[in-house]
Structure 1
Amino acid sequence: MNIGVLVNVEKDEGLKYTKILLDSINKNGAKYIVCEKTAKRLGFKGNSYSEVELVEMSDIIVCLGGDGSFLKAARMILEKDVPIVGINLGNLGFLADVDKNEIDIAVKKLVNNDYSIEKRMLLETEIIRNNNVIAKDTALNDVVVSRGALSRILHLRTYVDDNFMDMFPGDGLIISTPTGSTAYTLSAGGPIVQPDAGLIIITPICPHLLYSRSYIATKDKVVKIIVDEDCDHNAMVTVDGQVGYEIRGGDLIITKESTKSIKMIKINKRHFLEVLRRKIYDRGEKMRRNEV
């Protein structure tokens, strides 16, 4: 078994946990593959691989870092359809299934095929200007339409399956998968959704509407957002917090379920509600301790 290892070196000081992971992979009879940047930091000599080559050669991808690192890695494997598991070196980490103190246990389970796979839905989005597609992208968490640097209200005319929903004045809109319901959508007051549900969540960001709430649609719906043509300042479409595209008045953003999905390896048997309760409670307790 070839296990590709992608590391956020800024999260793993001295590559402490990376070394533990690589030693465990060796000890359990599998082969690890690291990219040239990681190999250089570890002082490895010999064959070095680009991240693209690493993905192509791997049967499983292990990502060390936080949720941002996981999202970056997930974008890299879309075409390969290889399963991925995260080791959480960040703070909250809803996407990473493995705690940094459980690395050896996790590797044993990977090598022995003692795990399950959850398929998570993705969103695909297009930005259309003057009837031409100027950008396409795919999201595991969310597609965010938001105002630029200036504090001006953004007006977004929003449709679901060509049915007019509302004109949303405010800082923007989040179109989220169930996986992304514990990310930006949560902080914007959106609902928490079971991650394997087939839903699309539309949540306004700081809306200038007293009655405005999140809207939940089935996954077969198509969400269309038109930027108000009178918009004379920069706005952005951001995909998974990883890539941004500038938009302007009159642009159309179409978002729907992707034909692709992500295979997320689940090693722990903990239910989503248990994970949710533990992570949010633990974070709250940690913040309270820091205030003392």
Structure 2
Amino acid sequence: MLVRVPPVKVGILANPQKPDARRVIGELREALARYGIESVLESVTAEWVGESGGVAGRDFQKEVDVAAVLGGDGTMLHAVARLGVFEKPVAGVNIGTLGFLTSCTDGELDLFASALATGEFRTSRRTLLEARVCDNGEPMDPFYALNEITLARGQTGRLVSLLATVGGEVLNHYRADGLIVATPTGSTAYSLSAGGPLIEPAANVFLITPICPHSLSQRTLVISDDVEIVLSPERKEEGAMLFTVDGRETVPISKGTRIIVRKADHGFHLLRLEGRSFYEALRQKLKWSGG
């Protein structure tokens, strides 16, 4: 979607683990100010740089018009949890090289600020996964993933047995190191490493990819994203498995517990500068060459 109305206020959220994050915060605020754009720091970011008056990430929806996430693709994944429901553009500023999820690098801050001032940018709505852990009672609060959720073996080092159902029907009884449920955005991440296909971000599908399956015939399945997927361990003696969300939260899962996965009601709106595309990122990150 092409956006023509320039934003009034930008909320900045940074990864303090990045060595140059402080410098980039300052340079971004200066660039935005040159174009008359107000900025505010997310509360944890503000505390880290020693400022008061920050805004909680969960309050960005009502306080800012664009969220700028400084770090890299990993920081963007963590921003999903820190922002909560945020149905406005999210721009990733990569401190380093351009990533799959980021809009620009830290060397392109003036270009980024200019694009915001003129409204010459696009947004790409990305599907989020909603996953709930249900342990013989009320399910836990939902987890949201931009890339994928996984249910994988714990500390045993052995293959595990798990059941996957799709739309209420048995898909398979897997013997593997685990199983990945990924969005199209996540097709370039863990699922790809496990042998899954690349999927265009706007496709209305999910991927179910086994991790190192016992049978080589067990391959990635591409399904519609309007069905519910349920994953559950099948053998108590294999010990607890580990449920993870975009590499963030980790929850031990034992036999009798189900992971219920569906398409989230809200999405994640990645900001793209004019002339930048998913295909350009593929060529760069996967080092495609030819012709």
Worse-matched range after superposition: 21-30 or 256-265? 256-265
1:218 is matched with 224
- Show the counterpart of 1:252: 258
Match of 2:29? 22
In structure 1, C-alpha distance between the alignment counterparts of 2:98 and 2:34, rounded to whole Å: 30
1:32 is matched with 39
SS of the residue aligned with 1:259? coil
- Residue 230 of structure 1 deviates from its aligned partner by 2.9
**In the alignment, is residue 74 of structure 1 matched against residue 80 of structure 2?**
yes
**Counterpart Cα distance in 1 of 2:170 and 2:232:** 11
TM-score, normalised by the number of residues in structure 1: 0.89
- Quickly say closer, same or farther: Cα 1:245–1:21, change in 2 above 3 A: same
Q: What is the match of residue 4 of structure 2?
A: none
Which residue does 2:9 correspond to in 1?
Answer: 2
Letter in 2 for 1:71: L
Query: Separation in 2 of the partners of 1:81 and 1:238?
Result: 24
Whether contact under 8 Å (1:4, 1:55) holds in the other structure is no
Gaps of 5+ in 2: 1-7
Does 1:197 pair with 2:203?
Answer: yes
Cα distance, 1:272–1:51 mapped onto 2, change above 3 Å: closer
Gap change, CA 1:41 and 1:135, over 3 Å in 2: closer
Between structures 1 and 2, the one with greater helix share: 1
User: Given the superposition, is the C-alpha separation of residues 247 and 40 from structure 1 closer, same or farther in structure 2, using an over 3 Å criterion?
Assistant: closer
Partner of 2:92: 86
Q: In structure 2, what is the equivalent of residue 288 of structure 1?
A: none
- How far apart are 1:274 and its partner, in Å? 2.2
The Cα of 1:175 is off from its aligned counterpart by 0.1
TM-score scaled by length of structure 2:
0.89
Q: CA 1:92/1:14 → structure 2, altered by over 3 Å: closer, same or farther?
A: closer
1:277 counterpart (260, 283, 290): 283
Q: Which residue of 1 aligns with 2:156?
A: 150
Structure 1: 5+ residue runs without aligned partners? 285-292
Counterpart of 1:102 in structure 2 is 108
- Per the alignment, residue 120 of structure 1 pairs with 126
- Per-residue deviation, 1:163: 2.0
Q: Distance in 2 between matches of 1:39 and 1:151?
A: 42
Indicate if the aligned counterparts of 1:55 and 1:61 stay in contact, CA closer than 8 A: no
Counterpart CA distance in 2 for 1:28 and 1:43 is 25
Listed one character per residue, the Cα deviations across residues 219-267 of structure 1 (whole Å, up to 9, x for unaligned) are 1122121211434412111111111221101221121111111111111
Secondary structure in 2 matching 1:132:
coil
CA deviations 1:72-97 (Å, max 9, x no partner) are 11223332423201011256721112
